[in-house]
Structure 1
Amino acid sequence: MTEFTPILSLAGGAMIGLSAVLLMALHGRIAGISGMLQGLLPPFAKDWGWRAAFLVGAIFAPVLILVMTGWRPAFDASTPTLWLVIGGLIVGAGVQLASGCTSGHGICGMSRLSARSIVATLSFMISTAVTVYVIRHIIGGF
C-alpha cells in the first residue's frame, strides 16, 4: 500500500507544470525527457546546454534533498532486475514509436490540445490499466 500525500503530490505536480510552462515560454521547447536526452546523444543538438542542465537537475535534485534533509523515499523492488531492464527497453521502443514519452505527450502535448498527444496519452493509460489488471487478476502476480 502506498502512502497518501496530497500536499506533496500537489506541490510536485505544480513544480512539474511550472517547469514545463517556463521551458515553453522561455525556449519554445517541450519538456519531454526523451527529446531532451536524444538531443544530448550524437549528433548533438545546438541547444544541448539547457537539455543537459534540465537532466542534471532532474538527477541531482533528489540527491540534494537527501543531503539537506536526510530523507529518502522507501524503495523496495520485488521485481527481478532482468525484468526491469527488459521493461525499460520496451518503454524505450514505445517512446520511439510514439514520437515522445509520457511526460512530453501527457504534460505538454495535452495542455496544447495536441490530438496526437491526447491519443498517445489515452493509449498509455489504457495499456497500463490492462497490463495491471492482467498481471494482478489473471496471471496472479505481484
Structure 2
Amino acid sequence: MTGRQPPYVLLIEDNPLDVFLLETAFELAHVQVDLEVAQDGAAGLEVLEAACRDNRLPKMVILDYNMPKLNGAEVLTRLRQDERLSELKVVMLTTSRSHEAQIRALRADDYLIKPEGVDAAQAVALKLAAHWQ
C-alpha cells in the first residue's frame, strides 16, 4: 500500500441502481475512489458549496443528465458560471447520444453513455478513472 488517498469524486445521480452499478464497477475494475453521492442536482450543488467552504473540492464531478429538481444541464451551467467551481472536471452520464451537442455546448469535459450491465460499467469506470489518473 502506497498510503496515497483515493481521489474524492462526487457522483450526482438520482437512480439508486445506477449508483450501485457504478460503485460495483469501480470495485470490480480495482479503481479506488472516495465516492460521495448526491441524489439530485440541488443536493449536488449543496455538497459542492460545502466542499468550497471546507476547501475540499472533488477531483471530478460525475453528473447524470436527467434528474429531478435540477437536471444535469442546469447543474453544469451553474458550475461553469461559479468562478470557484468553473474549472471542475465534469463528466456527464446520459442514456442517449441525442444530448451530445448540448453537453458539449455546456462545456462538459466528457460525456459517457450510461452502461447496461457489469462489463460495460467496468469499462465506464476505467474511462472515468483515466480522467484523474
TM range (shorter): under 0.3
When normalised by structure 1's length, the TM-score is 0.26
Q: If the length of structure 2 is used for normalisation, what is the TM-score?
A: 0.27
The structure having more radius of gyration, on CA atoms, is 1
